C-alpha cells in the first residue's frame, strides 16, 4: 500500500507577495532555511530580506549559475598606455594612425558576491549609487514608508456593500453576484496580485458568456460598472489607494457594449383592458399607477406610501437611481384602485406595494407578476411591462402635451429645478390627462 505525499512545503512570501520557492522558516527559532535540505540543514539567519538574498546566492551555487561579466570602457590617447592595466585586462590594439583609442576591459564575478556588494552600497551610500547609476530615486530609499498590506478582493467587496450610502437589498444581491463572478474569473487573492492579463481574462469571459447566452448589452454593462464602482468606493474611503488606482487604470480595456436604439412599443388599448380585467385589486393598482405616471418596474416597486397623496390626487417621489423627481397627477380611477387595494390588503408599512408577507417588491417581482397577469389575460408574450411606460409617453405626446411636460412626467431632466417640481406636481396634469383620454375615453 503506497503512502500519501504528506503536507506540501510552506514557502516564505517575499515583498512582491510571491512565494520564494525553496525557502522556509522555522516557527520556534524564526530562522530561515533551505526547505529541502536535511543533513545538514542550510540556514540563512533570522532577517528575511538578508535570508532571501543569501538563499538566492546559495541556490545559484547549487545550479552552477552563470557568473556576471563586468565590462568597463575608457577612451585614451593612442600614444599613452594606462599604467593601471589589470592582469586580467584585454586591451585594444594601439597600432594604427588614430588620435584616440577605446580601451575595453572585462572580468567575471560570482552573482552572490556581486549582489552582496550592491546591497552593501545601497544601504551605506545610496547617494553615491544614485549618482553612479543615474537613478536618483535610489538616494531616497531610506525615506520610503513600509507598504501597507494589499486589500483582498473579498475585503474590497465587503467595503462596498457596507458603505453608508443607502443601497437597496436587491442591488446588494446583484452587486454581490457580479463581484463574485469577477473574483472567480481573475483567480487572484489581492489587489496587488491583479495584472493586465487577469482583467483581460475577465473581460473576454464576460463577452463570451453574453454571446453564448444571447444576453442584452445591459448584462455586460452592469457587471463592468459594478467592478469600477467597487474600486472607486475603496478609493473614496482611502483604502489601498496606489493599488486601487493601478487596477482602475487596467479596467480601461473594458469595452462598453453598444446599446440598442430606442424602439418603443406602446401597449394597445385592447391589451391594457384585458390586463386590468385579469388583475385583482393590487395588480390593477400597480398597472394603473405605472401607466398614469409612466413608471419603470423598479420605480413602481419603490413607491412609498407617503409619496402618494390620495386626497390631492398627486404623486411626488425621487427616482432612486438618478435623484430626478418623479411627479404625476393621479386619475380618479388610479386613486380608487389604490384605495381598493389598501382596503383589501391593509398591511401598512413604508412601501405602497408589498408582498403577501409584507416585504417590498423589486423590479423582478413586478415583471414576474405582470407575466402571470398577461398569461391569465391570454396575451402574447411579446407584451411587456415596459410597454406601459412606452404607451404613457406616446399617448402624452400624441394627445397634445408639451414636450417639456411629457419629459418631466417621464422623469427626464428638463431644466426645471427639483424643488419647484416637487412643490408643483400639477405641471404634468395635461400630460396625465392626455394618457387617460387615449386609453379610457
209 and 352 share a domain?
no
Answer with the one of 253, 278, 309 that is the final residue of a domain: 253
222 and 286 share a domain?
no
What total of structural domains would you count in the chain? Answer: 3
280 and 379 share a domain?
yes
CA angle 179, 256, 245 (to 5 degrees): 55
Cell numbers standing for residue 119: 546591497
How confident is the model at residue 94, as a pLDDT?
47
436 and 327 share a domain?
yes
**DSSP letter (8 states) at residue 41:** P
Identify the segments of the chain with pLDDT beneath 50. 1-4, 85-94, 96, 98
Q: Is 197 helix (H, G, I), strand (E, B) or coil?
A: helix
* Cβ-based neighbours of 313, under 8 Å, separated by 6 or more: 329, 330, 331, 332, 335
248 and 340 share a domain?
no
**Are 111 and 68 within 8 A, CB to CB?**
yes
Does 349 map to a domain? yes
Does 175 map to a domain? yes
Does 127 map to a domain? no
Strand ranges (E), 31-167: 32-34, 68-77, 100-109
CATH number at residue 423: 1.10.443.10
How confident is the model at residue 90, as a pLDDT?
46
Does 102 map to a domain? no
Rg of the chain over all Cα atoms, to the nearest angstrom: 36
Is the preceding peptide bond at 40 cis, omega within 30 degrees of 0? yes
**Are 411 and 368 within 8 A, CB to CB?**
no
239 and 388 share a domain?
no
Does 81 map to a domain? no
How confident is the model at residue 1, as a pLDDT?
41
Does 214 map to a domain? yes
288 and 418 share a domain?
yes
Answer with the one of 253, 286, 303 that is the final residue of a domain: 253
CA angle 278, 283, 288 (to 5 degrees): 95
Does 230 map to a domain? yes
Range of the domain at 196: 153-253
Cell numbers standing for residue 113: 558576491
342 and 407 share a domain?
yes
349 and 296 share a domain?
yes
Cell numbers standing for residue 161: 456593500
240 and 284 share a domain?
no
Does 280 map to a domain? yes
Residue 358 backbone class (left: φ over 0; alpha: ψ -120 to 50; beta: rest):
left
How confident is the model at residue 283, as a pLDDT?
96
230 and 273 share a domain?
no
50 and 161 share a domain?
no
Answer with the one of 62, 80, 100 that is the final residue of a domain: 62
Task: Tell me how far apart the alpha carbons of residues 284 and 282 are, in angstroms, rounded to a whole number.
Answer: 5
Cell numbers standing for residue 235: 478609493
Task: Tell me how far apart the alpha carbons of residues 156 and 144 are, in angstroms, rounded to a whole number.
Answer: 25
Amino acid at each position: 500500500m503506497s503512502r500519501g505525499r504528506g503536507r506540501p512545503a510552506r514557502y516564505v512570501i517575499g515583498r512582491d507577495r510571491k512565494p520564494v520557492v525553496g525557502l522556509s522558516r522555522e516557527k520556534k527559532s524564526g530562522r530561515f532555511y533551505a526547505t529541502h535540505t536535511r543533513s545538514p540543514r542550510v540556514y540563512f539567519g533570522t532577517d528575511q530580506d538578508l535570508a532571501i538574498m543569501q538563499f538566492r546566492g546559495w541556490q545559484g551555487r547549487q545550479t552552477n549559475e552563470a557568473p556576471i561579466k563586468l565590462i568597463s570602457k575608457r577612451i585614451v590617447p593612442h600614444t599613452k598606455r594606462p599604467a593601471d592595466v589589470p592582469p586580467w585586462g584585454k586591451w585594444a590594439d594601439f597600432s594604427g594612425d588614430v588620435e584616440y583609442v577605446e580601451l575595453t576591459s572585462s572580468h567575471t564575478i560570482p552573482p552572490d558576491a556581486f549582489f552582496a556588494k550592491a546591497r552593501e552600497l545601497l544601504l551605506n551610500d545610496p547617494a553615491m549609487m544614485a549618482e553612479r547609476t543615474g537613478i536618483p530615486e535610489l538616494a531616497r530609499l531610506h525615506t520610503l514608508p513600509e507598504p501597507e498590506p494589499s486589500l483582498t478582493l473579498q475585503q474590497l467587496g465587503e467595503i462596498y456593500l457596507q458603505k453608508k450610502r443607502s443601497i437597496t437589498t436587491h442591488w446588494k444581491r446583484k452587486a454581490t453576484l457580479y463581484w463574485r463572478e469577477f473574483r472567480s474569473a481573475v483567480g487572484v487573492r489581492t489587489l496587488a496580485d491583479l495584472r493586465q492579463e487577469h482583467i483581460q481574462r475577465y473581460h473576454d469571459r464576460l463577452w463570451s458568456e453574453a454571446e453564448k447566452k444571447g444576453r442584452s448589452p445591459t448584462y455586460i454593462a452592469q457587471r463592468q460598472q459594478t467592478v469600477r464602482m467597487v474600486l472607486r468606493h475603496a478609493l473614496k474611503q482611502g483604502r489601498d489607494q496606489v493599488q486601487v488606482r493601478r487596477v482602475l487604470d487596467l479596467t480601461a480595456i473594458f469595452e462598453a457594449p453598444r446599446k440598442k436604439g430606442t424602439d418603443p412599443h406602446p401597449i394597445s388599448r385592447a391589451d391594457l383592458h384585458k390586463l386590468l380585467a385579469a388583475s385583482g385589486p393590487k395588480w390593477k393598482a400597480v398597472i394603473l399607477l405605472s401607466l398614469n405616471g409612466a413608471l419603470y418596474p423598479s420605480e413602481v416597486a419603490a413607491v412609498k406610501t407617503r409619496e402618494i397623496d390620495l386626497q390631492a390626487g398627486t404623486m411626488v417621489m425621487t427616482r432612486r437611481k438618478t435623484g430626478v423627481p418623479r411627479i404625476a397627477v393621479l386619475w380618479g380611477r388610479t386613486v380608487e384602485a389604490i384605495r381598493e387595494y389598501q382596503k383589501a390588503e391593509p398591511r401598512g408599512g413604508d412601501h405602497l406595494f408589498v408582498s403577501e408577507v409584507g416585504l417590498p417588491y423589486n423590479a423582478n417581482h413586478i415583471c414576474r407578476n405582470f407575466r402571470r397577469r398577461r398569461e391569465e389575460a391570454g396575451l402574447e408574450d411579446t407584451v411587456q411591462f415596459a410597454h406601459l411606460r412606452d404607451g404613457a409617453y406616446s399617448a402624452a405626446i400624441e394627445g397634445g402635451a408639451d414636450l417639456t411636460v411629457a419629459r418631466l412626467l417621464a422623469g427626464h431632466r428638463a431644466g426645471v429645478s427639483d424643488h419647484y417640481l416637487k412643490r408643483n406636481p400639477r405641471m404634468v396634469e395635461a400630460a396625465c390627462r392626455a394618457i387617460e383620454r387615449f386609453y379610457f375615453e
